[in-house]
C-alpha cells in the first residue's frame, strides 16, 4: 500500500505511541495501525500495552508492546531499541499520548503532585522527543504529534499543574517545529477538550454527585457531549499525514474554546 501523503510504502512506517494501554493512546494505536503503521505500543501498565498490541495484531497489523515509564529516558531508549531490533528501522512517527492530572488550585496542589504531573506530561516528552529526533534528522523526515489540551490554551479551574504542563507541551512542540522543520521534521500538538476516558471516570468517581459533574463536563462543549478517544485518535492520524501542518496547536474540543 502506498501512502500518497508521503509517497512511501505504508508498511515501512513505524509509529511509537505512549500511553497506548487505554483511552486516547489505545485508540491511537488502532488508528495508526489501520493506516498501515507498525506500532510500538508503550504504557507504564504492561498488561495495557500488551492488550493494545494484541488488538492491532488481531486486526491484521503489526505491533509490539513495551512496559515503560516515559519519565525514565533509559527505559524509553530500551523500548526503541527493541522495536529497531524487530523491524530493523527507527520510528518515523512519535505520538506522545501518555498524561496524568490532578484536580487542585495552585495553593491546593501538593509539590509532589506538581512534580509528577510536570514529569509525565512535559519532561517525559522532552526525553521521548530527544530520543527519536537524531534518527529522524538522519533520515531527513519524521513526525511528532504531542497530545496537549485546551487547558494549555485557556485557564481551567482546579487544574493548575495540568494547565501548566499542557501549555508547556505546546511551547515545546512549537520549538521543535522551529528548530527542525528545515531538516524535514514536523511537530504538532493536538489540543482535545473533555474526552470520555478512564481518567475522566476516575475524576467523576471522586465527585459528590458524579452524574451532575458529568453533565457539567458535557455541557462545556457546544454540542453537549464529551469527545471520544477514537475522535482524537483520528485527529492524531490526520496530523501524521498533514504535510503542511507544522508547529500547530490543533484544537479538537467540540467548540469548548469557541465561546
**Which stretches does DSSP call E strand in 62-207?**
63-67, 93-96, 142-147, 185-192
Q: Are 191 and 249 in contact (CB under 8 A)?
A: yes
Phi and psi torsions of 153, nearest 5°: -110, -30
> So which residues are the catalytic ones?
162
**DSSP labels, 17-75:** EETTTSHHHHHHHHHHHHTT-EEEEEESSHHHHHHHHHHHHHTT--EEEEE--TT-HHH
Strands of the 38-43 sheet, one edge to the other: 63-67, 38-43, 14-18, 93-96, 142-147, 185-192, 249-252
Q: Are 222 and 256 in contact (CB under 8 A)?
A: yes
Q: What is the CA radius of gyration of the chain?
A: 18
Tell whether the torsion through CA atoms of 42, 44, 47 and 48 is positive or negative: negative
CA–CA–CA angle 95, 97, 103 (5° rounding):
160
Please give the Cα distance from 252 to 116 (Å, whole number): 26
Amino acid at each position: 500500500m502506498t501512502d500518497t501523503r508521503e509517497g512511501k510504502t505504508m508498511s515501512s512506517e513505524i509509529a511509537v505511541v505512549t500511553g497506548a494501554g487505554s483511552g486516547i493512546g489505545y485508540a491511537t494505536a488502532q488508528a495508526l495501525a489501520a493506516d498501515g503503521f507498525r506500532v510500538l505500543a508503550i504504557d507504564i501498565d504492561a498488561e495495557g500495552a500488551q492488550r493494545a498490541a494484541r488488538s492491532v495484531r488481531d486486526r491484521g497489523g503489526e505491533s509490539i508492546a513495551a512496559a515503560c515509564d516515559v519519565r525514565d529516558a533509559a527505559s524509553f531508549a530500551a523500548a526503541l531499541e527493541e522495536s529497531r531490533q524487530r523491524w530493523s528501522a527507527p520510528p518515523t512517527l512519535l505520538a506522545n499520548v501518555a498524561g496524568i492530572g490532578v484536580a487542585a488550585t495552585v495553593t491546593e496542589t501538593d509539590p509532589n503532585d506538581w512534580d509528577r504531573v510536570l514529569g509525565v506530561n512535559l519532561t517525559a516528552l522532552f526525553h521521548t522527543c530527544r530520543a527519536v529526533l537524531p534518527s529522524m534528522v538522519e533520515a531527513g523526515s519524521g513526525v511528532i504529534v504531542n497530545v496537549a489540551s485546551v487547558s494549555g490554551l485557556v485557564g481551567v479551574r482546579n487544574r493548575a499543574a495540568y494547565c501548566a504542563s499542557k501549555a508547556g507541551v505546546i511551547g515545546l512542540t512549537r520549538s521543535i517545529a522551529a528548530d527542525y522543520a528545515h531538516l524535514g521534521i514536523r511537530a504538532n500538538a493536538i489540543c482535545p477538550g473533555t474526552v470520555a476516558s478512564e481518567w475522566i471516570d476516575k475524576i467523576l468517581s471522586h465527585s459528590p454527585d458524579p452524574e451532575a459533574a458529568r453533565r457539567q463536563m458535557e455541557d462545556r462543549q457546544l454540542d453537549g457531549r464529551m469527545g471520544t478517544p477514537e475522535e482524537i485518535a483520528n485527529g492524531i492520524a490526520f496530523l501524521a499525514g498533514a504535510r503542511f501542518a507544522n508547529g500547530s496547536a490543533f484544537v479538537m474540543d467540540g467548540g469548548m474554546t469557541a465561546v
